[in-house]
Chains A and B, each alone.
Chain A
Amino acid sequence: MSALEKHGNPEIKPFWSPLAAGIALGLVLLLTFVLSGHGLGASGAANDVVAGVGLKLAPEATRANGYLGPVVADGSPIGSWMTWEIVGLAIGALAAAFMAGRFRVQLDGARSVGTPARLISTLAGGFMAGLGARIAGGCTSGLGLSGAAALGISAFVFLALFFATGLIVSRLVKGV
């Protein structure tokens, strides 16, 4: 075993403690409520992008769609607060990863389950999460985190089922 493996790469800074990260995330969420009147989110940006791209590629079908129609009623939602927030999320994560020596290009999970299995597990996971977020009207950030901070009943129902199902499924499938 080389010295590097034994002692770890000193360039890689440790993660924040969960308490410190939780307080920081809570303050960011509070700032978001104060600035915008709503919480943080993520899946809403995917919906805005799907609606915006749909409006470009198939304007009539998108306007006629029962779910996307209202989203594009005032024009393309690309450029909405939520889409800018996701651009910001990308910048913030990139800066944090670089500053802490944690940026590494890889297909995470390829070594543990194999490349084909990993590509399938991550695509299937994304599909379920995207579909589930639209059914619930939000994902872990928009409904689970922000909705709970606003003390919404549905957020706690979401979190309970999120946890219970995740526990069971992670015992049946090794995705990473």
Chain B
Amino acid sequence: MFPLNDNGMMSGLLCGILFGYVLENAGFGSPVKLSAQFKLSDWAVFKVMFTAIVVAAVGLWLLRLAGLMKPDTIAVPQAALMASAVGGALVGAGFAVGGYCPGTSVAGLFSGRLDALVFIVGVVLGTTGFAVSYGTALKSLKAAWLIAEGDTFTDVYAVPELVVLAVLGLALVAVFHFGSSFERRGTGIVTAQQAVEGAR
């Protein structure tokens, strides 16, 4: 019965190696490729993310349907909506300014990018800054707009899981459709050749 709840070294290394291998092959070690998402000229970030979300969500649903995974056995983030909104805005701003997010900066560094190392230093400083200033203000930010009834649309609003999956599927089609249309009108997607040459 899954999940195996294996949180050992080999499990972490295996998942990480596969994660890093896919990220770099998607082009996500390049800040030019990554930041082109926000210039709307290259939609790879959202195309890859939405595809992965749908594949994994449908996979988890199938595992439960087949009786291989019990409900409520995997980690779901707490529905702390204010914290998610403020944090999402800051990570988005950091991505637009720095060209990476925490995970992709590691892929950037290990494809040779020294600016990614500086980004990682920034992530560590930001993490330290949060810990040092953790007090009443940040605690109340984390507690604001917290949905106590549950963490998913199914738990809180009784939306059937299949409906949630169908909406995600439609969102995926929309991302590919509108994304590709923006890509055709824009300056074109960032090729591996351009990414390796660096920003110009």
- A residues whose Cβ falls under 8 Å from a Cβ of B: 8-9, 12-16, 18-19, 21-43, 46-47, 49-51, 54, 65-68, 79-97, 100-113, 118-119, 121-141, 143-155, 157-167, 169-170, 173, 175-176
Contact = CB atoms under 8 A, between A and B. Distances in A.
Contact of A26 (B4, B11, B51, B96): B51
B88 A157 contact: yes
Contacts of A148: 53, 57, 168
Given A38-B74, A88-B14, A175-B35, A22 B49 contact: yes
B186 interface: no
A58 to B, nearest CB: 11
Interface SS of chain A = helix
B67 interface: no
B166 interface: no
Contacts of A122: 31, 98-100, 115-116, 118-119, 122
A106 to B, nearest CB: 5
B108 A108 contact: yes
Given A9-B196, A130-B126, 5 more contacts: A54-B131, A66-B139, A89-B106, A123-B122, A161-B85
B94 interface: yes
Given A28-B18, A125-B97, A92 B77 contact: no
